[in-house]
Chain A
Amino acid sequence: KQEVTQIPAALSVPEGENLVLNCSFTDSAIYNLQWFRQDPGKGLTSLLLIQSSQREQTSGRLNASLDKSSGRSTLYIAASQPGDSATYLCATISTDSWGKLQFGAGTQVVVTP
């Protein structure tokens, strides 16, 4: 069974610093890996989706890498802003579990002005 772990559980940085969020997974037979943002009491916003054949994806200040062989993904957020404060979740879809996301517990990020 796939297990997804996110480290650290919480992170606080001053505005302007770069953020590095880590995600590891135990089963490399994934279809894709996604990073989401979750604001308190709200739904999920999809940030980046990396297919199993890809090494990275970029969108604006966000960059996510994927290393299937080592079971790791990293989300980089450049020049953090207070508006980036949220919980960031990574999730995988395994090749034998169509559409079923396996989530990590998330990293709670606080960016202080």
Chain B
Amino acid sequence: GAVVSQHPSWVICKSGTSVKIECRSLDFQATTMFWYRQFPKQSLMLMATSNEGSKATYEQGVEKDKFLINHASLTLSTLTVTSAHPEDSSFYICSAPDGAGVEKLFFGSGTQLSVL
């Protein structure tokens, strides 16, 4: 079945560095990718929606210059946390529908980011 492969699963970095998270769709083409983050004890919140070949759409309150999203191909979307700070420590997860409908959304396994 359709799978979204997300890497890395966890990353620890120093404050001020940049971190790239990749989500690859396997066996299907992901024209759209949704990026969520989850702070401890809180719900998953949508950060942005990326569409292949066009600029990502960011939710209110999400800094587009800090969270760079690239969706250059139908099978790869990346989220780069630039100049990460401790407050960016969170669980990041991607999701993609496998077709025109949204009945079936496939999730990556998530990335736990810890910024020291």
Contacts and interface: CB of A to CB of B under 8 A. Distances in A.
A and B: interacting chains: yes
A101 B95 contact: yes
B49 to A, nearest CB: 7
Interface residues of B, number: 26
Interface of A: 4, 31-32, 34, 41-44, 46, 49, 51, 89, 91, 93, 98-106
Contacts, number: 56
Nearest to B60: A1
A3 B68 CA distance: 27
A32 B103 CA distance: 8
Q: What secondary structure prevails in chain B residues at the interface with A?
A: strand
Nearest to A93: B102
Nearest to A99: B102
Contacts of A106: 43
Interface of B: 6, 9-10, 32, 34, 36, 41-46, 49, 91, 93, 95, 97, 102-105, 107-110, 112
B41 A100 contact: no
Contacts of B44: 89, 91, 101, 103
A104 B43 contact: yes
B105 A105 contact: no
A104 B112 CA distance: 20
A98 B6 contact: no
